[in-house]
Each structure stands twice: as C-alpha cells, then as structure tokens.
Amino acid sequence: MSSTQPRPVYVIGAGPGGLAVAAALRARGVRAVVVEKSDGVGASWRGHYARLHLHTTRRLSALPGLAIPRRFGRWVSRDDVVRYLEKYAEFHELELVTGVEVTRIERAPAAAGAGAGDGAAAGEGPGWLLHASGGRVLAGRAVVVATGFNHTPRLPDWPGRDTYTGALAHASAYRDPKPYEGRDVLVVGAGNTGAEIAVDLAEGGAARVRLAVRTAPHIVRRSTAGWPAQRTGILVRRLPVRLVDRLGALTAKVSVPDLTAYGLPRPESGLYSRVRQGAIPVQDVGLIAAVRAGTVEPVAAVEAFDGAEVVLADGSRITPDAVVAATGYRRGLEGLIGHLDVLDERGRPLAHGRRTPAQAPGLYFTGFTNPISGMFREMALDAEKIAKALARRLGVRAEARRAAAHLPDTGLRPVDPPA
C-alpha cells in the first residue's frame, strides 16, 4: 500500500457512535473505514419500535459536523434518526463497507507491523487483524469498536420459560401494538423501553396491559417548563452522588405524583446512585397518566412460567395471552474481543472514549455507556476525543490535519478536561 494510502483505522459498526468517530477521524486527516454487518447505517435504530423518539433534544443530539434538521422537531423520531444517520454518512463522504461482519480482532504479528512503505508512524505498533465474514482478514492501524450498547437481546432463563404456552417475545421484536389488539399483555421490565411499550399497547388497543416491576424506577418528566431533563443530567454529572440524590428526591416530590397506591412506589435508593449502577431514570412519555388511569397496571416481578401461567414474585399467578420481555441487552463482545482481556465481569469494555486498554493499545471503544447526559451527546464528544488521541498516536502531521475537511462547530463542548 502506498504512503498516501496507509492502512486505515477500522471502525466496527455504522450506528451513530461509529459514524461520528469516522467523521472526526477524517477531519483530522486519518483514513477511517466503517465496517457494518447489515446492509446500511443505523441498523439498530431501524429495528426499534415505531413509537420511539430520542429522549434527548434535537440540539443536544447532533453528531460532529452536521446539525439535525429543525424540521425533525425537538424530540426526533426513530425514522428521522435513521434519515439523519444516512445523511450524515453521505455528507461526510465516509468510507463504508456494508454486509461484512467482523467476528474476531487480534493483534497483528510484529512482522506484519507497519513499515516505511505504508505510512506508519514511529511507535505506532504492529496494528490489528480483523477476521471477517467471507474469509476476509483486514489489517488496520487501530480499531474502534462501536457495535452498540443494545447489541444482543437478553432474555432471562426463567423456570418453565421453554414450555410456556402463551406468546413470549423480547422487546427487540416489538414494532407496534397492532398484533396485540384485544389481547391481555404482560410487559416485563420497567425501564424506558418497557414503560413506553406498555403505554403504546394501552393506547393501541390491547385489552389489558400489566407491567412487571422488580425494582421501582425513578420517573422524571422529559421536560419541565421547557427545560429538558437532559440538561439537568449534564449539569449534575460532576456533583457529589449524595447531593444529586437529595435534589432528585425533592424534584420528584414536586413534579411526579406518588404512584404507591397504584403499585408503583417511589424508589428507596437515590436517583444518581441508581444511575451509577447503570439504571437510567424512566422519562415519562405517558406512563404516569396510564398508571393513574388504570390502563397500565404495575404488578410484581416475574419469577417463573407454568404452562399458560406466569408466576409472580408475590406468589400470584396470571394468564396473559402474550408476554413482551423488555429485559435489556448484552454488549455481545465476548466472541469479538473476549480473548484480549479487555472486558470486565459484566462484558463491558474496561476502557472507553479516548482511553485505550494498556494491554491492547490502539483498541478504542465508544457507545458502551448509557449516560444521564444523553448517549448521542456523549458519543459525539467521545468521537472528537478518540480522533484527537488517534491522530496523535498515529503521528498524523499538522499539515495533513489542516488539509482535511474540518468539521463545522455543533456547539458541543467536552465535559471532561481536554486530553
């Protein structure tokens, strides 16, 4: 490969995180190739339920270098998110390879490392080999893994699940309420997905909707007097946990009615304490009204299945026609990079953003956290940080950075101190 076309940085995944990193790298003069296993960008978003909108505002959800069109409204719909991602890849002229799945990443042997003929920088290291579908082996200077927070549906192995005679599906398969019209439906999981699907079913003609709750969630208004909850999340991120917990409790008492009488008590643990454990508050897009109206009925958590019955944690048994399990996702990284010792006990990357694992230099991750300040916003900030770190690591010259297409300012500013 000539000195003008060095081995690229490979970005795995053409969702918002991967596209943002690729655009930021291109702006710094680093060649980036996005590899996507589906046939287009935004595959996860295309598969979400039709009702879904971003829970973060349009202005605070733009990726580097391209604002989200004003006509998409303040809370951008699923379909408009996909349109935006398609336009983003086109606008930045990103190198995108679709229909190719990367199955394993390995350090390249030293002999396969960069030499003077392929534009490698001193100290860059041997790089990486990506094993992909069709027997392909791709050689990259560095790798950014952006395969997504919601990658592999997680369905608990409840006792009796395999012999349950009703319909059981993970929320990833839910699109709209039409197949559930006139039916008794149990939604399992009171996170944002479960809460919104329950409301969608209640409004879409289901005969009865129950919501199985193991741990009562914190519920926040998406916007109060025009002030979005996301902005509050940005402001409080650096404050002490206990202080934010107190502020959250006071705010909830003022803005969110007590639903204890309806089977949904206020949480015992603090809002930010829960966030630090990975539980994001539920943004109210109709849940409060539905619970108070009785169209969504909170019930105890699911313990087991028994024939046509669902056994709940309080000992009661119910017989819904269908169960929709909004029970979350796994990152699904074990097969790809599990052998590199870069994952924690829960399968999450040990490093994130501009930081690269000490045992795997040149391997970066984005999009594997679910921050209270908004995932799109943090992926946009991460993209700039990763691009800056990689350009420095790869020794991209200042003149090459100046010659690259600079990204317009979207108004985003890093929350962390600059690298």
Complete DSSP assignment for 80-137: HHHHHHHHHHHHTT-EEEES--EEEEEEPPGGGS--GGGTPPTT--S-EEEEEGGGEE
Q: Are 314 and 227 contacting, i.e. CB atoms less than 8 angstroms apart?
A: no
Work out the average pLDDT over 240-263: 93
State the pLDDT confidence band at 125, using cuts at 50, 70 and 90. low
Work out the average pLDDT over 283-307: 97
Sequence spans of domains, the chain = 9-150+331-403, 155-328
State the pLDDT confidence band at 400, using cuts at 50, 70 and 90. low
In angstroms, the CA 359 to CA 100 distance is 27
Q: What is the pLDDT of residues 94-112, one digit of tens each?
A: 999 999 999 999 999 874 4
Check for a shared fold between 9-150+331-403 and 155-328: yes
Work out the average pLDDT over 30-39: 96
CATH of 155-328, picked from 3.30.2350.10, 3.50.50.60, 3.30.365.10, 3.30.70.20, is 3.50.50.60
Work out the average pLDDT over 149-163: 92
Beta bridge partners of 299: 212
405 has a pLDDT exceeding 50: no
Work out the average pLDDT over 40-65: 94
Work out the average pLDDT over 245-255: 92
> What is the per-residue pLDDT for 149?
83
> What is the per-residue pLDDT for 277?
83
pLDDT above 90 covers a percentage of the chain that reads 78
In angstroms, the CA 348 to CA 287 distance is 30
> What is the per-residue pLDDT for 115?
41
Q: What is the pLDDT of residues 265-287, one digit of tens each?
A: 999 999 999 988 888 899 999 99
Tell me the fold of 9-150+331-403: FAD/NAD(P)-binding domain (3.50.50)
